[in-house]
């Protein structure tokens, strides 16, 4: 319980701080130190939640720490990637050893119940949609109102069920992410519920009224509201990755920058990619005029796969060369 309290309080402390890679490193270092301090306090007999709050209080003003960390070192203009501190490295190593975080029975039971509710709520709608699409030329739309109770019954159940699953999943700590603060997770759940309700309501109105415009007028406002809210949440979301995940991200970022460090390799990759796509386009035209344009799409898929294989091969060779 204390760990989740530390993560929540730390996220709240950094809520108004603009996150940069350097600030994120500082936040993860502070997180590791806070967890160590909480462990010390709980060993001395302090309650877990009280230990978490006391450790946060001992931390002091977060903005002062950020300004101190962003002082002379941030103005040095060094382009080398920041080296993780010993505390962060130790926390990453410890987290890597316990990556698997088993879900609680309460969470599993809740997800199962919510999933069953969502499926039961959407089953009549899906059945009617399939029936309408498959028999659109002979269906009697005057019998559709008989299905109104089933349709209206699924509308208030499907959205909240999906929203609950989203919120409960975000609150839960996983192998790669810390649990999200409850209020923010609920906000994600509400946005997801609005999207689901907008989609279901639009389809149901179209089925009952028989006009596409009526379906759009009902569903689009809810979809826009849910999408805008979700976009805002995603734009303001701070990183919840655990230290060992950040270490892997740094390694991947360095691998992606190898072409910047080796312009000749980047030039070769550009030439090879052009050759691959020219060949793919030629095969596309040949297949289109001989076999059929449906089969010709395979040439474009083959070109895309070939480009990805080429990229992976050149990055691997570059890594081999650097190590040698």
Give pLDDT, residue 239. 75
| CB atoms near residue 88 (< 10 Å) | 24
Please give the tally of structural domains in the chain. Answer: 3
Give pLDDT, residue 19. 72
| CB atoms near residue 207 (< 10 Å) | 19
Give pLDDT, residue 189. 93
Give pLDDT, residue 141. 53
**Residue 180 is assigned to a structural domain of this protein:** yes
The packing angle between helices 182-209 and 105-134, to 10°, is 20
Give pLDDT, residue 133. 57
What SS3 state is found at 177? strand
pLDDT < 50 regions, the chain: 1, 72-89, 91-92, 95, 318-324
**Chain centre distance of CA 250:** 18
Within 13 A of 108's CA, how many CA atoms are on the CB side?
A: 4
Give pLDDT, residue 86. 47
Give pLDDT, residue 88. 45
Give the N- to C-terminal CA distance of the chain in Å, as an integer.
47
Q: Which residues pair with 241 in a beta bridge?
A: 177
List of residues 6+ apart from 323 with CB closer than 8 A: none
What SS3 state is found at 42? helix
**Residue 286 is assigned to a structural domain of this protein:** yes
Domain stops at, among 52, 72, 97: 97
Give pLDDT, residue 324. 42
DSSP, residue by residue, 108-122: HHHHHHHHHHHHHHH
Distance CA 55, CA 46 (A): 11
123 and 89 assigned to the same domain: no
Distance CA 324, CA 312 (A): 18
235 and 275 assigned to the same domain: no
172 and 88 assigned to the same domain: no
Containing domain of residue 83, as a range? 2-97
236 and 276 assigned to the same domain: no
Q: Which residues pair with 177 in a beta bridge?
A: 241
110 and 235 assigned to the same domain: yes
**Residue 248 is assigned to a structural domain of this protein:** no
Give pLDDT, residue 247. 65
Q: Which two tokens stand for residue 42?
A: 């709980």
Domain stops at, among 51, 69, 97: 97
**Residue 247 is assigned to a structural domain of this protein:** no
**Residue 181 is assigned to a structural domain of this protein:** yes
Distance CA 306, CA 280 (A): 9
Residue with token string 């406002």: 221
* pLDDT tens by residue, 120-174: 888 877 777 666 655 555 555 555 566 667 667 777 888 899 999 999 999 887 7
């Amino acid at each position: 319980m204390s760990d989740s309290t530390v993560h929540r309080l730390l996220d709240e402390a950094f809520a108004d701080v603009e996150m940069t890679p350097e600030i994120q490193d500082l936040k993860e270092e502070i997180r590791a130190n806070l967890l160590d301090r909480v462990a010390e306090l709980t060993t001395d007999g302090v309650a877990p939640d009280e230990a978490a709050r006391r450790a946060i209080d001992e931390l002091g003003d977060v903005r002062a720490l950020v300004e101190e960390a962003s002082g002379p070192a941030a103005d040095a203009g060094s382009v080398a990637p920041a080296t993780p501190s010993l505390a962060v490295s130790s926390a990453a190593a410890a987290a890597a050893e316990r990556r698997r975080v088993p879900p609680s029975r309460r969470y599993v039971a809740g997800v199962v119940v919510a999933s069953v509710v969502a499926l039961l709520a959407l089953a009549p709608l899906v059945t009617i949609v399939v029936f309408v699409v498959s028999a659109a030329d002979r269906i009697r739309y005057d019998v559709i109102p008989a299905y109104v109770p089933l349709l209206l019954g699924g509308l208030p159940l499907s959205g909240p069920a999906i929203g609950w699953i989203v919120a409960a999943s975000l609150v839960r700590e996983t192998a790669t992410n810390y649990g999200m603060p409850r209020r923010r997770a609920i906000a994600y759940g509400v946005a997801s519920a609005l999207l689901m309700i907008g989609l279901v309501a639009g389809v149901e109105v179209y089925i009952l009224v028989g006009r596409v415009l009526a379906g759009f007028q009902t569903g689009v406002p809810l979809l826009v509201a849910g999408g805008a809210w979700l976009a805002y949440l995603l734009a303001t979301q701070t990183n919840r990755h655990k230290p060992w995940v950040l270490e892997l991200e740094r390694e991947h970022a360095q691998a992606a920058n190898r072409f910047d460090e080796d312009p000749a390799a980047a030039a070769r990759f550009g030439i090879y990619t052009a050759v691959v796509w020219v060949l793919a386009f030629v095969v596309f035209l040949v297949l289109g005029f001989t076999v059929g344009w449906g089969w010709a799409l395979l040439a474009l898929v083959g070109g895309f796969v070939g480009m990805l294989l080429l990229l992976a091969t050149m990055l691997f060779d570059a890594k081999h060369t650097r190590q040698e």
